[in-house]
Amino acid sequence: MTHAPDTVRRILDGSTELFVKHGYHGLAMREIAAAVGVSKPALYYHFRDKESLFVAVLEHHLAQVTALVALARRAPSAYEGLAGFLESFFGLPVASRQLIRASAQEVRHLSPAAQGIFLARYEADFLRGLEELLGRGVAAGELRPSAESGLGPELALRALLGLLFPFVAVPTEAGAGKARALLQLYWRGLGAPD
C-alpha cells in the first residue's frame, strides 16, 4: 500500500507536468486523478480543490528554486554564486523549470488571497534573493556600478531572467552547457571593465 507522503509526492509530480502542458484552466480534477493513478476521492482527500493542488505544486517547485538561490547567496563571489545557481537550475527536471517560468502567468487564475501569498513568496525568496546576489556583485566590483551602466541590481535581474527563461525547456543533459554559455554572455555584458 502506498503511504500518504508517497501519494502526495506522486500527485505533485504528475500534476506538474499536467499543469505545464495544459495550464490551470485546461484540467479537471478527474483528469488529474486519472493521470496520476489515484481515485478522485483520494485526490480530494489530499487537496481540497484544484486551486489548493495548484498552489501546492507551485510552492513545491518554488521551494526547490529558492533552495538553489540560498546556496548561490553563500558563494564567495557573485559570479560563483550565479554559476552554481544556473548549473543547478538547469539540472532540475524540465517540467520544474517550465512551471517556475509559467507560475507568474498562471497564478492569475488563483483567488486574490492565494495569488497574494504565492507572489509575495516568489518575490521575496526567488527574485529578491537573486537581486541581493547581483547587488553584492556590484558592491564587490564584479559587476558595473549602476551609476556607470544604468543597470542596478533589479534591472540586472530582469536581464538575467530574460536570458534564462527562453531556455527552460532545454533537456537536462544539455543544461550544463547552456548554463555556462548564458553566464558568459550575461557576465561579458554586465561585468566590470578590467
Give how many domains the chain has, as a whole number: 1
Ramachandran region of residue 175, left (φ > 0), alpha (ψ -120 to 50) or beta?
alpha
Asked if residue 155 belongs to a domain, the reply is: yes
**Each residue's pLDDT tens digit, 84-97:** 999 999 988 888 88
Residue 20 inside a domain? The answer is no
Torsion sign, CA atoms 160, 66, 181, 143: positive
What CATH number does residue 151 fall under?
A: 1.10.357.10
pLDDT at 189 over 60: yes
Q: Is residue 175 part of a domain?
A: yes
98-124 per-position pLDDT tens digit = 888 888 778 888 999 999 999 999 999
Q: Is residue 112 part of a domain?
A: yes
Residue with cell 578590467: 194
Strands (E), 6-131: none
What is the domain extent for residue 104?
Answer: 59-190
Residue 157 has pLDDT above 60, yes or no: yes
CA distance 125 to 14: 25
pLDDT at residue number 51:
94
Beta carbons of 130 and 160 less than 8 angstroms apart: yes
41 within domain boundaries: no
Contact 39, 45 (CB under 8 A): no
**Is residue 3 scored above 60 in pLDDT?**
no
Closest CA to 171 of 163, 161, 179: 179
* % of residues, the chain, pLDDT over 90: 52
> Phi then psi for 155, rounded to 5 degrees?
-70, -35
Handedness of CA 133, 160, 17, 117 (dihedral sign): positive
Is 46 part of any domain?
no
Q: Is 36 inside any structural domain?
A: no
Burial, 26: exposed, middle or buried (Cβ in 10 Å; 0-12, 13-18, 19+)?
exposed
Please give the pLDDT value at position 45: 94
Instruction: Provide the pLDDT for residue 149.
Output: 59
- Residue 1: pLDDT over 50: no
pLDDT tens, position by position, 6-61: 889 999 999 999 998 998 888 999 999 999 999 999 999 999 999 999 999 999 99
pTM of the model: 0.85
In a domain, 18, yes or no: no
